Amino acid sequence: MPKVELYQQRIQRKINPGDKRFTVNTLNFDIEDRRLFFHNSYCYDKKYDFILLKDNTLKIGLQHQHLSKNIMDQVIGAGSLKINSEGLVVHLDNQSGTFQFNNSQQNQYIYAINTIIRLDNAKIYDIDYSVRYDTVNPEYIEQINPFYSSIQYLDDKYKQHIKPINKDKFDWILEINEFDAEIYYSNNLDLQRYMVKEDYVSLLFHFITKGQYEMGRCVGFY
């Protein structure tokens, strides 16, 4: 079976494939001296999906099927990662229900990733897709990081890459995401500890400043 057809079959088996909330969830970032800087400070230390393409392009956001739309045949690596405010990867794994790259394939593509962004501080994990795979609580197997050197930057360079949201983009954000306060409240369990779903203004402000549809996630307008 062609690999793209296999990927499409896996997508169709998902509970809610093609959820419209995720259609714009690709995050913008800059890379400087192999350090990755997002355009919004909220994005740091959050777990996001990534794909790596044959031309060494790295895409980061939410849900692999959306990141790879129309370019599935170009994907050579996929998983999840976390970037800290120093622009360094602190977590990397091969979790992807769509692509399911095994440990051997992961060991190959991390060398390509390390030429793009630094993996010195990263904890690298493998998910064994040859056994029963739990999409909610998968078993992470920590791997040896061949690039480990434990580096640290204290220059706050990430602040130079933060970009404001102008009014036109803000209007587009609300339109493209069809903001619904009640849905936003119900999809963010962390908000339920200190907000009420009837408080539209507070929920809207949270959405504008944090941009999250799920705890630890954010919509891709930065």
pLDDT beyond 80 at 201 = yes
* Nearest one of 34, 127, 126, 128 to 83, comparing CA atoms: 34
Judged on CB neighbours under 10 Å (0-12, 13-18, 19+), 100 is middle
Distance CA 122, CA 92 (A): 6
Global pTM value: 0.77
Q: What is the pLDDT of residues 124-180, one digit of tens each?
A: 999 988 887 776 678 899 999 999 998 999 899 999 999 876 676 667 666 665 677
Fill in the amino acid letter for 158.
Answer: Y
Determine the average pLDDT of the residues in 26-40: 92
Distance CA 76, CA 111 (A): 12
pLDDT tier, 189 (very low <50, low <70, confident <90, very high otherwise): confident
- What residue ranges do the domains of the chain occupy? 3-160, 164-210
Higher pLDDT, 208 or 161: 161
